[in-house]
Structure 1
Amino acid sequence: PRPLPRAGAGEAARGGEAARGGAGDVGPAGAGEPAGAGGPEEEDDPEVEGDPLALRLESLILGADRRYTPFQAARSAGVSMDLAARFWRAMGFADIGQAKALTEADVLALRRLAGLVEAGLLSEPMAVQVARSTGQTTARLAEWQIDSFLEGLTELPEPGMTRTEVTYPLVELLLPELEEFLVYVWRRQLAAATGRVVQAQDDAEMVDRRLAVGFADLVGFTRLTRRLEEEELGELVEAFETTAADLVAAHGGRLIKTLGDEVLFAADDAGVAAEIGLRLIETLGRDETMPELRVGIAFGTVTTRMGDVFGTTVNLASRLTSIAPKDAVLVDGALAVELMRSGEAPESEAEAAAAEKEGEEPVEYRFALQPMWQRPVRGLGVVEPWLLGRRGT
Structure 2
Amino acid sequence: MPSSRGRCPLSAFVRVLRRHRRIREFAEADLLDGLDGTERSIRIRILQHLADRGISTDGLASATREGQLGHQLLDVTLSPHGAMYSLEQISQSTNISPEDVERWFRSMGRGVSTSTSVDYNDDDLRLAQLLTEYRALGIADAGLFAFARIVGRNTSTLADASKSLIQKNLDTNRDRPEIALQFARELQRFAEFQSQLLHRAVATRLRQQISQQIRADITAEHAPEAQDIAVCFADMVGFTVLGEQLTPTELGDLADRLDTLTTDLIEPPVQFVKTVGDAVMLLSPDPTRLAAVVLKIVTAAQQHGLPPIHAGIAWGTAVRSAGDWIGQPLNRASRIATIAEPREVLADSETMRRIKSAEMTIESAGTHQLKGFTGGNQLYRILLKQQKGDQSPMQDR
Query: TM-score scaled by structure 1?
Result: 0.46
Which one has a bigger Cα radius of gyration?
1
Which has the higher relative contact order, 1 or 2, with Cα contacts under 8 A spaced 6 or more apart?
2
More helix by share: 2
Query: TM-score scaled by structure 2?
Result: 0.45
